[in-house]
Amino acid sequence: MSAPLVVFDKVEKQFGDFVAVKQLDFEIREGEFLAIMGPSGCGKTTTLRMLAGLDAPTVGEIRLGGRVMNDVAPHDRDTPLVWQSLALFPFLTARQNVEFGLKMRGVGAAERKERALKWLEKMGILEFADRDISTLSGGQKQRVALARSLVMEPQILLLDEPLSALDAHLVIRMQAVLTDLQRELGITFVYVTHSQSEAFAMADRVIIMGKGEIAQIGTPKDIYRAPANQFVAEFVGRNNILSGNVQALSNETARITTPSGNFTVPTNTVQLTQGAKASFVISADLVHISLGEPDGENKAQCKLISEEFVGSMVTLFLEDAHGQEFKVQMQERELSKFDLNSGDQIWLSWDTASAHVLDQS
Amino acid sequence: MNANRTLNVILGIYVALIFAFVFAPIIFSMIFSFNSQRFPTIPLGEFSTEWYAKILADPDVWEAALNSLIVSTCTALIATFLGFCTAYSDFRYNFRFKGPYLALILLPPTIPLIIMALAMLAWFSKIGMSGQLYSVIIAHSVLTAPFAMAVIRLRLNQMDPDLEAAAWNLGGSEWQTMRSVIIPFCKPAIASALFLTAAVSFDEFAVSWFVSGLNKTLPVIILEIVQGNIDPQVNAIGTFVFLISMTLVVLAQVFFASRQLKSIRS
C-alpha cells in the first residue's frame, strides 16, 4: 500500500473551553473516497476545516504528503473545498467563479478562460458560462462550485455536505456525478456528511464521529454489518440492538440472556466474560420472518406494529411481549407472500453468524 | 371593501400633505429665485434670471462653491474609507469591548451640532489648525464617517461569511481577497456611502461656520447674504445647493435600492 496522503497525528482542537475534536488519529489514503459522518456538532466540519487550514489544531500535527501543515496559511495550501453554502461569488458569472482560483494563482487570462470552459463543459453547464450566479438553479450552482474547485487540479478535494441543499432526486444524480469524477480523476475526496445514504453510497471508507471523537473507521460494509459500539449501531439505524448478560461461554459462541429470551452470538470480535453485560446487533435485512415457530437458537415472537415502503424494499417495525423493538428489512415481493396486517403475531429468527457483539467501552 | 377604499384615499391625502409641507418652502424658494421683485410677495413680478446672473458674477460665491466642492469630495473619500475600515473590522473580528467600540464610532451624529462645532473650534485653535479648509474636511469626516460605516456594515452583514474563506481556500492572500471579493461585494454600498457623505458635508452649516474661518463654504455664504438684508440671491443659491444635494442623495439611494432589489430577486 502506498504512503498515506494525509495523516492526522493525535489532533485536538479547542475553541476556548470547548473541545471540538480530540484524539484524531487517522490516515487518508491517496486516491480514496473517504466520508466523515456523524450527527451535527460531532466535529466533522472542524476536522475538514483544519485540513483546509481554516482552523488550526490546538494539539497534534496534520501532515499532507509528508509536510507538516499546522502553520501553512490556507491560501498556500492546495486543498480546495466545496462549501455547504457553496460560497459562490455572487458578483461574478459562472465562468469568472471557476476562473477565480487560477486568477489568484497568477494564471494568464487566456489559459484561465480555456481551463474554466473545459471544466464547465465537463460538468455539463457550458451554456451557462456567462450567466450570473443568481440566475442558476441549485443543481447548476452545485456544478459551478465543483468546477471552481476542480479547475485547480488538486490532489485532494474537500467536500462539506455539498448536497444538503438539493432536492432528493438531484442528490442521487449528483452522487453519481461525484463518484464518476472521483474514479476518473483518481484524486482523493474527503466528504463530510450527516447522511448515511450519501456516505455509504459513495465512500470507499467511512469515519464515524461522535462527540468530537472517532467512533469507528471502516468500509461501509464493515460499519453496517459490524458496528464497533452502541453509538455507531444506533447512528447507522437499520439494525436491531439487544442487551443482556453473558450466561454461557463456549469456544466460538456465547449464550446471552436478555429480557426477550436467550440468544447465541459469535465471539470472534470481542472478548466476553461470564456474567458480564453484553450487547449485540443484527442487521435488519438479516432477520427472517415466519408464521409458525422456526427452528434454530435465535428467535423471538413479535407483534407487527407498522410497515414502511421505500421502493421495492419494505421495513417492518415490530415489538415483542417485553417491549423490545425489532426492525426487519425485506423485498416487498417476499413480504407479499405472508399477507400480514398490523397487530399480527409473527416469528423472527436469524443465524448466529448474523449477530455482531458490540464493544462495551 | 368600501371602508378600505376610503381609508386609502384619506391616507393618500395625508401623505400628499406631508410632502407638501416638506417641499413647499423649497418650491417657493425656487419660484422666487426667478421672480423679478426684490421682496417675496404675491402677486409675482416678471420671470427673471437676474439673481442667478448676480450670484454668478460674485467671486465670493464662486470661491465658496469651489470650497464646498473640495470639502465634500475630500470628506466623502476620507469618511467612506474610515467607514469601510470600521465596518470590516466589525465584520471580521471579535474582540473584547467590541460593543463600546461600535457605540463610540456611532456616537458623533448624536452630539448636537452646535456642541460639536464649538468643541472642534476649541480643539483646532488649541493645536493651531483652525480656520483652514482642511479643518472643515477633518471635522466633516468625523461627522459623516458613521453614516458611511452604517451603510457598508449593512452590506457586509448580507455577505455569506464563507465567501472570504472560500477565496483564501482558492489561493487568495488576505489582500487579494480584499481586492477581489470584499470590495466588489461592497461596491454598491461604497458608492452609496460616497454620495451620502458628500451630500451631508455639502449641506452642513454649523461646523463649517465655526471652523472654516475665511474659507467659507456655500451654506456659510448663504447665511452671510441673509444677515445683511433680504436678497433674492439667496433663493438662487438655495435652489442650486438643493439640486446638488438632492442629486447626491438620489444617487446614493439608487445604488442602495438597486442592490436591495437584486438581493430580493436572488
Mean pLDDT value of segment B238-259: 83
Find, in chain A, the residue whose alpha carbon is nearest to that of B168. A75
Residue type at A103 in one-letter notation: K
Q: Contacts of residue B172 in chain A, CB cutoff 8 Å? A: 75, 100, 104
CA distance A175 to chain B (A): 23
**CB distance B189 to B259 below 8 Å:** yes
- The verdict on a CB contact (< 8 Å) between A90 and B180 is no
Map B23-85 to HEC letters.
HHHHHHHHHHHCECCCCCCCCCCCECCHHHHHHHCCHHHHHHHHHHHHHHHHHHHHHHHHHHH
Residue type at A185 in one-letter notation: L
**CA B49 distance to own-chain centroid:** 29
Phi/psi at A195 (5° precision): -95, 120
Find, in chain A, the residue whose alpha carbon is nearest to that of B265. A134
| Separation between Cα atoms, residue A53 and residue B169, nearest integer Å | 8
pLDDT tens digits, A124-139: 999 999 999 999 998 8
Q: Is A224 helix (H, G, I), strand (E, B) or coil?
A: helix
Cβ of B172 under 8 Å from any chain A Cβ? yes
**A residues 35..74 contacting B (CB < 8 A):** 52-54, 73-74
Grid cell digits, residue B145: 464617517
Cβ of B165 under 8 Å from any chain A Cβ? yes
Computed over its alpha carbons, how large is the radius of gyration of chain B?
23
Among A75, A103, A156, the residue to mutate for chain B (most B Cβ within 10 A): A75
Residue type at A8 in one-letter notation: F
- The verdict on a CB contact (< 8 Å) between A104 and B165 is no
The bridge status of strand A188-193 relative to strand A33-37 is parallel
**CA B50 distance to own-chain centroid:** 30
Of A90, A92, A152, the CB nearest to B170: A152
Question: Number of Cβ pairs closer than 8 Å across A and B?
Answer: 68
- Please report where in the chains the cell 409641507 appears, as a residue: B21
- The verdict on a CB contact (< 8 Å) between A81 and B168 is no
The answer, yes or no, to whether residue B37 has pLDDT greater than 60, is yes
- The verdict on a CB contact (< 8 Å) between B165 and A101 is no
CA dihedral of A119, A124, A126, A132, whole degrees rounded to 10: -100
A232 contact partners, CB below 8 Å, separation of at least 6: A208, A210, A215, A216, A223
pLDDT value at residue A361: 60
Phi/psi at A156 (5° precision): -140, 135
pLDDT value at residue A21: 92
Computed over its alpha carbons, how large is the radius of gyration of chain A?
24
Whole-angstrom distance between the N-terminal and C-terminal Cα of chain A? 31
The answer, yes or no, to whether residue B264 has pLDDT greater than 70, is no
pLDDT tens digits, B103-125: 888 888 888 989 999 999 999 99
CA distance A270 to chain B (A): 44
pLDDT value at residue B183: 95
| Separation between Cα atoms, residue A137 and residue A310, nearest integer Å | 28
Q: Contacts of residue A53 in chain B, CB cutoff 8 Å? A: 168
Q: CA–CA distance from B195 to each of B218, B247, B250, B261 (Å)? A: 18, 9, 9, 19
| Separation between Cα atoms, residue B181 and residue B232, nearest integer Å | 51
Q: Contacts of residue A156 in chain B, CB cutoff 8 Å? A: none
CA distance A308 to chain B (A): 38
Residue type at A218 in one-letter notation: G
Q: Contacts of residue A90 in chain B, CB cutoff 8 Å? A: 185, 266
CA distance B256 to chain A (A): 16
Of B160, B167, B176, the CB nearest to A85: B160
**CA A6 distance to own-chain centroid:** 19
pLDDT value at residue B147: 94
Residue type at A202 in one-letter notation: M
Cβ of A165 under 8 Å from any chain B Cβ? no
pLDDT value at residue B261: 58
pLDDT value at residue B263: 53
pLDDT tens digits, A57-78: 999 999 998 899 988 999 999 9
The answer, yes or no, to whether residue B10 has pLDDT greater than 90, is yes
Stretches where chain A sits below pLDDT 50 are none
Provide the whole-model pTM: 0.81
ipTM here: 0.83
Q: Contacts of residue A133 in chain B, CB cutoff 8 Å? A: 266
Of B55, B48, B68, the C-alpha closest to B234 is B55
Of A54, A77, A134, the CB nearest to B165: A54
**CB distance A345 to A301 below 8 Å:** yes
Residue type at A78 in one-letter notation: D
CA distance B206 to chain A (A): 41
Of A82, A83, A62, the C-alpha closest to A72 is A62
Q: Contacts of residue A80 in chain B, CB cutoff 8 Å? A: 169-170
Burial of B177 (0-12, 13-18, 19+ CB in 10 A): buried
pLDDT value at residue B1: 57
| Separation between Cα atoms, residue A30 and residue B239, nearest integer Å | 73
pLDDT value at residue B266: 46
Find, in chain B, the residue whose alpha carbon is nearest to that of A96. B180
Grid cell digits, residue B125: 485653535
Of B145, B110, B138, the C-alpha closest to B211 is B138
Cβ of B170 under 8 Å from any chain A Cβ? yes
Find, in chain B, the residue whose alpha carbon is nearest to that of A153. B170
**A residues 190..209 contacting B (CB < 8 A):** none
The answer, yes or no, to whether residue B40 has pLDDT greater than 80, is no
Q: Which residues of A341-350 are buried (b: 16+ CB within 10 A; e: fewer)?
A: eeeeebebbb
